[in-house]
Amino acid sequence: MKSGKEKINKSFFYFIYVIIWTLITVILIYPNFSFYKILGTFIFIPIYIYFSFKFLEKVKPIYINLEEKDILFLNILIFLDVIFAKLFTYTLIYFNNFNIPNLFVPSFVGILLTSLFHGKKMGAIYGIIAGIPAFLFNNPILYFLPMIGAIRSTFIKDDLISRAAIFKSSMIGACGFSALLLSLILAFYPSFLPYWYKYLFAAFLGGLYSFLVVNALIPLFEVLFDYTTNLTYLNLSNLHHPLLRKLLLKAPGTYNHSVMVATLAEAAAEAIGANTVLAKCGAIYHDIGKIKRPEYFIENQHGYNPHDFLDPRESAEIIKSHVTEGIKLGKKYKLPKKVIDCIAQHHGNSLIKYFYEKAKRMGLQVNEKDFRYPGPKPQFREAGIIMLADVVEAATRAIKDDVDINLKQFIHKLIQKVVDDDQLSQSGLSLKDIRLIEKVFFKILSGVYHKRIKYEKQTEKEN
């Protein structure tokens, strides 16, 4: 339950937002003021914002974890799309004498920025919502434009992970809008036919313009809203990053494990439509906390195990500490918040079962909480994927070479244990997603460990 103070703060936030949105719209969009236009705007915009906020709050469990700042960001983009397009149109008319009625240069700024920061599906949803203010501005073209962008976002195959990809998406959107514009002129505005080439030129110019504006705005929105683009995640995934080089030198076993987890996570994210670049980047950095005490983790040991001489409770504390140390290193090296979240959440609050059972066998007084990771549980799909990839890769790697296993069944049991422990309940992963992830893991790992896979029925002992 939200407190009364929180509700007041939220209402005040909405009120101020509506007033600013409305005033700027009236000043910049309408060249001629009138009482009825201002009154209509003040009635329309609060209703529009209310329903768009409610819509985004409803879809967020399906597509993305949206916070208030994200909803504010999306609504600001709707406004900026219209402002940028109008300003550029007026500039074109002023400098090039494009004296054509209703000339409108398309802006794909909102679609591109939404897809960059929140993914392609959210870009499609944005496009649908962004078309609604067309009725306010009395221009049906304004409705078709974001719809073209929404359709483009739905079918786009490439993630926007480079400036070349952003440019390509801008120009493809411009081509689609050009075709739509030409069809509208032929069907409804035959008087504009003598100027058709000017309209098409303006449409293509709008694509280039959108590309330039998006590149200029990315750093600004990264600072204002604490966002990170796939471009940043891609650069951080470069294995020459100083922190990854340090991991390779101090904990080579952990480094190899992390690279394999990243491979699994990236493929799984692609299969379920999650952010592949974030999944890969988060997976590569998820175990960086092991840099401090690499010898206490089995993948870096060569015969000697220091845990043999420690109290199980002390061993559990050392194992847990790699999460907190990883968070510290992530902040020190200024990793993005989402990557640090992957580090914090990749074990959730799961039980360190080996040392918990060892403590019980030794007759020690044990509190289960002392043997659980600090958490939190994965809060988004990519973090959930990394948790599963980490569990499956570590367990599969630990199987001895002379042991035959039913790998498919083995992976299913590992993942089911995570599900039964309620670690994925807050991640947004559906049962369908989890089954797809299982298939992807099996496909990749069966290629790595094919020599010891046995497909016929196995006894419980062999598994």
> Which one of 3.30.390, 2.60.40, 1.10.3210, 1.10.287 gives the CATH number of domain 230-452?
1.10.3210
- Cα–Cα distances in Å, from 108 out to 93, 167, 241, 388, 443? 20, 11, 33, 37, 38
pLDDT, residue 61, reads: 46
- Cα–Cα distances in Å, from 1 out to 6, 83, 198? 10, 38, 56
Give CA–CA dist 417/210, Å, rounded.
48
Which whole number is the average pLDDT over 26-37? 61
pLDDT band for position 449 (cuts 50, 70, 90)? low
Give CA–CA dist 347/408, Å, rounded.
22
pLDDT, residue 206, reads: 75
pLDDT, residue 154, reads: 47
Phi, psi angles (nearest 5°) of residue 372: -110, 145
pLDDT band for position 182 (cuts 50, 70, 90)? confident
pLDDT tens for 242-267 read: 999 999 999 999 999 999 999 999 99
Give CA–CA dist 37/325, Å, rounded.
58
Give CA–CA dist 380/284, Å, rounded.
17
pLDDT band for position 28 (cuts 50, 70, 90)? low
Percentage of the chain beyond pLDDT 70 is 70
Please tell me the pTM assigned to this model.
0.75
Domain(s) of CATH 1.10.3210: residues in the chain: 230-452
DSSP bridge pairs for 405: 453
